[in-house]
Structure 1
Amino acid sequence: MRFKSQIRNVNLLAKFCASLASLGQIAWCRLNDEDVQFTIVPDKGSQVWSVLRPEMIFETYILQSASPQNTINLEVPIQALSRALRSALGSTSAEIRLTKKDNVPILSLTIVTNTFSSGNNVVAHPTTSRGDGGNADFDFDDNDDLSLRDANGGGSSDRETIITQDIPVKVLAMAVVERLHQPRTPEPDVNIYLPPLAQIKTISERFTRLAMATTKASSGASPRLELSANMHGSLKISVKTDALNITSRWTGLAHPQLDPTHFPDLTDHPTTKMKELGGPNGENEAGWSRVRIDAKDWSRVLSVGRVCTKVIACFINEGALVLYVYLPADENGDEGDPCLTVS
């Protein structure tokens, strides 16, 4: 079992992991030949299912496993990984690999940075020895000692520093994760592009504070926000208490076009029926699809705004809200598939 890769886009991966870290403490990471998946399924609250193409974040991608498609399943403390990646921002290069230390599986992040020095240029070179660690399934490096040597005679120069961040992980057997599947939901009643998530987050948190200020302190419960949308470009966020009833509304939002290869006939699709029920001004309440969500959980979900360029919200009336979050376009201008699915 082997995983080693040079990180191509540290900034993007750091933002991505920071978004996940705000939604849970432990992530299931599945690496295989085709993609990199991160999944967070908490005891309660929103689930996250994410898929990244390896070439989006990795320069090289060395993966070897006895499982089909070289699959490796890891249980990762996502907050620790996020902190380690933050330390790599601005680095010259960063490499991540699956290894072992003291017989414990770890993700080892090796960061190379350059700093300006007025003295001798001291370069840290890792001296690596290979051991078996008592586990023949791993091809790993441990006992990495950093030896320092004088690189030149002196004078002002760049100093190269190597930093290693180790994140303990668990290697999961295929049998442990084979029953984990993304939830299946009915076809949505409304599909709509959301306005900037930072804008929604500001308004949602303001509504939450107002609701808590007008609710008895003894309740201690998080307020619930009502989100609703129609197929005529409108979105509403509302909060209601005994002393408060406020709503914020967006209009002129776009709706994604459904793929005709998957939906050749939209006559009986729920979104078509919902559009017929509603009106341009939202005068018919039957044309709105609604969900009620925990305000604190919603605030955590909106943290994915730090990594996305567009978000499609799929409303299942009085049932669920599914968000499809897209990464920034690549160098060819192709956004590809959504990287995060939050439900």
Structure 2
Amino acid sequence: MKFRAVMNNSSPIREFSTIVSTISKLSKECVLRIADDMLYFIVSDENTGPAPPVLWCEIPQSVFFSEYQLVGMDETHQDIYLGLNSGNLARSFVSLKNVKSLKMKLTKKQCPCLTLEIEVPSTTSHQTRQIVHDIPVAVVPWKNWPDFYEPRVPDPDISIELPSLKQLRTTIDRMRTMASEVMVRASAGGQLILQIRADMAKVSTRFKDLNVAHFDGPVDNSDPETDSQGNEDSSEIVQCRVDAKKLALFLNVDHISTNTTLCSIVHKRLVTLCLQTDDNVKLQCFISGIVY
């Protein structure tokens, strides 16, 4: 197996660094899948063992790298899957200020490593200096690759564009102090409602006039927990109860330069949050619904 990739432009290096830093805040461990056309960062639920990924980030290599060479295990298994500590990788990027180039390659030291060679200008002369980081990795055997394939999820009942992620994060952080679960509701009329039930009160925050990318209604809302939102037809409201902590974790991605962020809901079963940038980086978070 061989892997070597080079970035020579400061803009994609900074963007890549921001993505890695964000991944490290979401999970301590991740799997880096290296393919011909993409790099993937994959995170599974730390509490459930082998399970479908809960976080899926794909980065087009042609946008970020000026050189990209990959030789897989064999002709049948052409990708490389590496388990690594996302915090170690993120800390390696701390030195990426005024960087001239970044080289990533797979090396064999005392153990397999993802080696970063960072070229930065010298502060005392016109020469450059090189910083090298060796990040230990575990090569994932091909028989375990299916554990890290992109999840197959049902078609959503609604997809709605989210408001400012920073504003959403502030709202969810406040709600988390009162309840551990949050009901996410979205309507065909472009409303997003976040609701919690505490011991003494029910608290709701509503965002209006949002773009609805997809709606596949009507939806059966014949349960006592559902109430009509103002003049909204309840058959046009899709909802799902989720863990507030998991929702808050995703909202840490607000540091990534965003083009659009969509919230897709499978009624009472699943919330999928998808961020996409102008550089076609896509980050998806899958949050299973809580059903009583």
- 1:56 maps to a residue whose letter is V
Point out the more displaced range, 85-94 or 31-40. Answer: 85-94
Name the CA shift for 1:24/1:280 in 2 (closer, same or farther; >3 Å).
Answer: closer
- 2:22 maps to a residue whose letter is S
Q: Which structure 2 residue ranges, 5 or more long, are not aligned?
A: 220-226, 287-292
Could you state the TM-score of these two structures normalised by the residue count of structure 1? 0.73
- Does the CA contact (< 8 Å) of 1:48 and 1:341 recur in 2? yes
Partner of 1:82: 90
Quick one: distance in 2 between partners of 1:237 and 1:255?
A: 16
Quick one: distance in 1 between partners of 2:32 and 2:88?
A: 14
Quick one: distance in 2 between partners of 1:309 and 1:86?
A: 25
Following superposition of structure 1 onto structure 2, how do residues 134-283 of structure 1 map, counting pairs within 5 Å? 157-209=125-177, 211=178, 223-256=180-213, 271-274=216-219, 282-283=231-232
Following superposition of structure 1 onto structure 2, how do residues 9-158 of structure 1 map, counting pairs within 5 Å? 9-44=12-47, 47-65=54-72, 66-68=74-76, 70-102=78-110, 104-117=111-124, 157-158=125-126
String of CA shifts for 1:196-232, please: whole Å, max 9, x gaps. Answer: 11110011112222x16xxxxxxxxxx1111110111
- 2:261 maps to a residue whose letter is V
Structure 1 residue 289 corresponds to structure 2 residue 238: yes
- For the residue of structure 2 that corresponds to 1:178, the secondary structure is helix
Quick one: distance in 2 between partners of 1:280 and 1:238?
A: 12
Structure 1 residue 315 corresponds to structure 2 residue 284: no
Q: CA RMSD in A?
A: 2.5
Aligned length: 272
Partner of 1:142: none
String of CA shifts for 1:296-336, please: whole Å, max 9, x gaps. Answer: 22111111222133111111111110112102x24xxxx4x
Name the CA shift for 1:67/1:279 in 2 (closer, same or farther; >3 Å).
Answer: farther
- Does the CA contact (< 8 Å) of 2:276 and 2:282 recur in 1? yes
For the pair shown, the structure with the greater C-alpha radius of gyration is 1
- 2:59 maps to a residue whose letter is L
Q: Percent identity?
A: 22
- For the residue of structure 1 that corresponds to 2:115, the secondary structure is strand
Quick one: distance in 1 between partners of 2:158 and 2:242?
A: 17
- Does the CA contact (< 8 Å) of 2:228 and 2:234 recur in 1? no
Tell me the CA shift for residue 25 of structure 1.
Answer: 1.6
Q: Which structure 1 residue ranges, 5 or more long, are not aligned?
A: 118-156, 213-222, 258-269
Tell me the CA shift for residue 158 of structure 1.
Answer: 3.0
Point out the more displaced range, 293-302 or 66-75. Answer: 66-75
Could you state the TM-score of these two structures normalised by the residue count of structure 2? 0.85
Partner of 1:149: none
